[in-house]
Amino acid sequence: MEGWIEGFQESIDYIEQNLPEKLNIEEIAKKAGLSPFYYQRIFGALCGMTVGEYIRARRMTTAAQELACSDYKVIDIAAKYGYDSPDSFTKAFQRFHGITPTQARESGAQLRSFAPLHIKISLEGGNMLDYKIVEKAPFTVVGVKKRFSCETSYNEIPKFWEVWMSDMKGLKGMFGLCADMDGKTFDYWIADLYLPWEDIPEGCCTYQVPGGLWALFMCKGPMPESMQKVNTQIWSEWLPSLKGYTLAGNYSLEFYMPPAKNPADTVSYICIPLKKL
């Protein structure tokens, strides 16, 4: 993944240069040399927000600067940044800045500013990250699935687990599987290993996971903190230094071991598909 950081920064520069234009995730991810699926996962882990949230924050910042320093009409600035009406722009502006566009033009108005991101990876001591690369044959999982927007999945997937845990639907919940659909949405599965001689529980279906190379990262400790910590390390430390391999497929797995009596001993895995260069 040599040059990965430079490519990711190029994608952010592309967003900045085209803020007033209609941006799509396919073009943004292409600048980084990544699929939309992986780009959005990495962006969230590195930046702590979704791509859409970042774009909205930058647009609201530059729109406020234009309001304060120019005589452009609110309706023109709203149209410039893709809002269908002054009302929808005003609501979005007020959510971000806490004041209306008209108030933003008053002397002494307090405005919020969100600066452009600059990706910089620095090593600060030896953080241990346990992983291994293994080859796995294709396998099939069985479970319940739900389609999520990449913009809201971070908050919505835990709710999906809560609903499932109240019913279980005949599953143990060994896997959490993300399977990309169109770059903007993906299917998330709560699943177990499929055993052909057993009946498929009601409301469940199957999915075949392709065979190939996988990087397996062990997470140890209370959930979800341990998995979130390792997930951030994967994208900010491991991926930039990865040599001889590249990301493969638009899917990834979480594998959950049975809960330990002591939460500190709980073990789970994040599994990322790879291919050799």
Write out pLDDT tens, residues 104-120: 888 777 888 888 888 76
Give ranges for CATH 1.10.10.60 in the chain. 4-104
- Give the per-residue pLDDT at 84: 85
Give ranges for CATH 3.20.80.10 in the chain. 131-276
| DSSP conformation letters of 231-274 | HHHIIIIIGGG--SEEE-SSEEEEEEPPPPSSGGG-EEEEEEEE
Residues in the chain: 277
| DSSP conformation letters of 92-107 | HHHHHHSS-HHHHTST
- Average pLDDT (159-185) is 83
With a pLDDT cut of 70, the percent of the chain lying above it is: 95
Looking at every residue in the chain, the average pLDDT score rounds to 85
Burial 247-277 (b: 16+ CB within 10 A, else e): bbbbbbbbbbeeeeeeeeebebbbbbbbeee
Domain 4-104 has CATH 3.40.630.30: no
- Give the per-residue pLDDT at 208: 92
Sign of CA dihedral 190, 192, 196, 200: negative
Q: 0.75 exceeded by the pTM?
A: yes
CATH class of 131-276: alpha beta
**More confident position, 124 or 75:** 75
Indicate if the pLDDT at residue 226 is higher than 60: yes
Indicate if the pLDDT at residue 133 is higher than 70: yes
Residue 8's DSSP bridge partners are none
Q: Are 192 and 177 in contact (CB under 8 A)?
A: no
At 125, the pLDDT band (50, 70, 90 cuts) reads very low
Of 30-34, 78-82, 240-244, 249-253, the poorest mean pLDDT is in 240-244
The position carrying tokens 């291919």 is 275
The pLDDT tens digits for 66-106 are 888 888 888 888 888 888 888 888 898 889 898 888 888 88
The pLDDT tens digits for 17-34 are 999 888 999 999 999 888
Indicate if the pLDDT at residue 255 is higher than 60: yes
- Give the per-residue pLDDT at 224: 78
* CA atoms of 156 and 185, how far apart (whole Å): 13
Hey, what are 56's tokens? 């909205």
